[in-house]
Amino acid sequence: MRIGIMLRSIDEKGGIGVYTRNITRELLDLDRDNRYVLLYRSRNHLGRFAHYDQATERVLAAPNKAVWDQVSIPLACWQEKLDLLFHPKFTVPLLAPCKTVMVLHGAGWFMPEFQSYWSAADLRYVRAVMPVYCRRASSVISVSQLTTDTFNRTFHLPPGKIITVYFAPARIFRRVTERQILDRVRTRYNLPDRFIFTLSGYDRGDRKNFAGILNAFTSHHGKTQHQLIVGGRDCHKFKVDYGIPDSGYGKDILFPGWIEQEDLPAIYSLADVFLYPSNVEAFPIPITEAMACGTPIITSNANGLVEIVGEAALHVNPDDHAEIAAALQRILADPQLRESLSETGTRRAQMFSWDRCARETLRILTETVSRS
């Protein structure tokens, strides 16, 4: 087969970018029989996969995403004589001359309780185009059963059109015990001896429930010596938005900024708890990262978080900051509970494997081409 992969999302910082980079590499590592054409929007990525003999890299120019998806990509499919086009995101070219597979990373646009996290314009756009893409794609991969069930219920798609395939944290995520690595990362990000860790992003504060995290930490402050580390791009801007003071509880909230992925395993390993009571998640990759590192977790009792973490966490109502604070107090005061959650999380993390994800994805791609 000749398989094209659309890679305009390869440099995204969030979960979709993580998925795109990893699934591309894992497919190329696994599959030496088929030929791959890697389609970039930017020349910055040329050479990234050049060491794979079965891969060809191309840059396609376009003034915007829509033209790249719907004009440049179909032309490349014709030129490269592709049998199948795989997009690790949720669009496919409507005029593609070959079969197509796309990936759904969530369904919040179609879940009433989460629609406030998108603008009215975004909701109108996604609701207009998503049914078209879902019906045009030859097969659809979903990153969670919650997403699969929501799309099936919303669009009444044929049975088996959407297939759930879990992805995984990068292979670097494991419990870090090497003192030299831990000390280097602690110094790099100026981390305290005892801390609670969370991940967000200034543009994702509502979805990641920063208000709930802040209120819970404020209530908990002074009961233990733990400080709160809020990782993520531009999160320091929360100080102004939420009126966080420089003294009192505010001096114990630290914003190290963007954390490089290679440093995250050490930070998870240093943290006494990973606090992630997010409001909207389909496949919460930080939860799988924390589990792989054996970090005790507090997370929401709703949506995709329960599906992924199972019993390997304390579950809380994300709308109840008192409940979040009580969970913090419980977990930080009980070393045996932390150890139990760590062991349970490490075992559950084995469910999420890039080997399994790549094999399932390759099977779907192969079967999609073979169908008449």
How far apart (Å, rounded) are the C-alpha atoms in residues 138 and 117?
30
**pLDDT at 218 exceeding the cut of 70:** yes
Q: What was the pLDDT predicted at 372?
A: 64
CATH architecture of the region 179-351: 3-Layer(aba) Sandwich (3.40)
Q: Which DSSP state fits 157?
A: P
Spatial distance between the Cα atoms of 71 and 129, rounded to a whole number of angstroms: 16
The percent of residues above 90 in pLDDT, for the chain, comes to 84
Mean pLDDT of the chain: 94
Which CATH code of 3.40.50.2000, 3.40.1410.10, 3.40.1400.10, 1.10.3720.10 fits the domain covering 2-168+353-370? 3.40.50.2000
Domains 2-168+353-370 and 179-351 share a fold: yes
Q: Per-residue pLDDT tens for 193-209?
A: 999 999 999 988 888 99
Cα–Cα distance for residue pair 348/366, rounded to 1 Å = 29
Which position has the token pair 């005061």?
A: 333
For the stretch 169-195, pLDDT in tens is 989 999 999 999 999 999 999 999 999
Give per-residue pLDDT as tens, 126-159. 999 999 999 999 999 999 999 999 999 999 999 9
- Other CB atoms within 10 A of residue 62 CB: 15
pLDDT tens-digit series, residues 60-69 = 999 999 999 9
Q: How far apart are CA 225 and CA 246, in angstroms?
A: 17
- pLDDT bin (cut points 50, 70, 90) of residue 118 is confident
CA distance 329 to 223: 8
pLDDT score of 204 = 86
Domain positions in the chain: 2-168+353-370, 179-351
Output the pTM of the full model: 0.87
Span 69-89, pLDDT tens digits:
999 999 999 999 999 999 999
The answer to whether the Cα torsion of 17, 18, 23, 24 is positive or negative is positive
| pLDDT score at 303 | 74
- Taking residues 346-363, report their average pLDDT: 95
